[in-house]
Amino acid sequence: MKKRKKSNIENSLSPDENSGTEIRSVKSSSGKENSEEPIAEKKVAAQAANVKGQRVSIAAKTKQRIAKSQQAKHPGTSICFYFQVHQPFRLRNYQFHEIGSNHFYEHYNLNLEILNKVADKCYLPANEKLLELIGKHKENFKVAFSISGCALEQFELYRPDVIKSFQKLAATNNVEFLSETYYHSLSFIYSKKEFDRQVELHSKKIKSLFNFEPKVFRFTELVFNNELAKHVASLGYGGMLCEGADKLLKGRTPNHVFRAAEVENFSLLLKNYSLSDDIAFRFSNRDWDGWPLTADKFAKWLHDHAANSETINLFMDYETFGEHQWEETGIFEFLDSLPEVVLDHPDFRFRTPSEVIQLYPARDIYDVPEYSSWADEQRDLSAWTENEMQREAIEKIYSLEKLVKESSNEDLMKVWGKLQTSDHYYYMSTKFWADGDVHKYFSPFISPYEACVFYMNVISDFEISVREHLKKDIA
């Protein structure tokens, strides 16, 4: 029978390790110790030490491999790009004498003019650029959109080419669509039932147009508080977007995933307003000490956060690209170059809100007992509710809820929904300085007082129409 050849490991083992026999001195017949035995014993001991060293070395290398593997699996820092797309149905200068006789409220020509301008300057070229960047950077470049129902309806009516361009983006699977209220309203504050109706309406619209079921929610203008978080979580969403307000962060960085107060398994992504506004508001401001803002410079600012940031959330109006910041400012060149220089850092990736929520645990609680938003310096509800005109207008439109829903008239329901759009109250703001300038920029009216008068005239006629419809049903 052939003897098995010993392995290298077995050959290197000492006798006690290999056979269990004892190592001891062997005396010759004369009673003197054999001088060869100590030499052999030392050799065996040296071999054993060598094997032990090999084992330690193997263990150390194994630990290194595991550490490297874990490091490779770490998601690094995410850049979460979110764009809001919204166009309201603006009202015309509806006069008092028209009440009861003219039921057409919208400024058709102005709405069409603005839609065409923004579609050509922003939506189409920006979508084309994003599609190109996704093709170039594949899975490493992703973005998210929230598109109001008002905008989607106008695209369908007047600019179907814009819908098609968004559908091309959706087909890449690198774009996430978020849920919101259909009419870009403040409905949750005044009617939770109406809020739920609009959220469902919007989700169905996104599903029908883009074959996408939203999993993350954002309320109008990032309005948020603890009560809203609880309600949205109860609807089945996994998280929300909100403003990273300094007064609420209290010295903490917004660059982590947070958890809503008293809500389990519901994540919050906070806007880094400083970095977001560098693009959205300051990009073309020559008086800003950061001008000119190049992709390399901005990427460095992002990379500087690598050590203490898991997600940097850049939230802004999509109209930033080409409309608020004109093409001549270099905004499209900036967008074109940004992904490549950001991705030069091996730990950075562009990810969608859902991916960020799945990748990172919530690090802390973001407690927001009172409403916050991303609007104006105060970052609260004052953009829509700071004066008596605004509050009266909002209260009046929601006071008609019962009558409108009793009518069961689809056309009246649509008109009522459009009249809830937050832009109408935004135009009525009487704020001064920088905030006032922004309100004026967006308003189609000469003054906030005109905005209020024409809106209240419309509401008066609309109420007459609803009541007349109910009378006919009774009759």
Sign of CA dihedral 216, 220, 221, 224: negative
The DSSP output letter for 387 is S
- Catalytic, 221? Answer yes
Ordered strands of the 257-260 beta sheet? 216-217, 239-243, 267-271, 257-260, 364-366
Nearest-angstrom CA–CA distance, 265 and 236: 11
CA 80 to chain centre: 6
Q: Which of 79, 78, 70, 160 is nearest to 124 (CA)?
A: 160
In sequence order, which ranges of 34-123 are alpha helices (DSSP H)? 36-73, 108-118
Is-contact 177 221, C-beta < 8 A? no
Nearest-angstrom CA–CA distance, 125 and 332: 9
398 phi and psi angles, rounded to 5 deg: -80, -20
Is-contact 79 302, C-beta < 8 A? yes
CB crowding 381-412: b at 16 or more within 10 Å, else e:
bbbbbbbebbeebbebbbebbeebbebebeeb
Q: Which of 176, 180, 221, 319 is catalytic?
A: 221
Active-site positions? 221
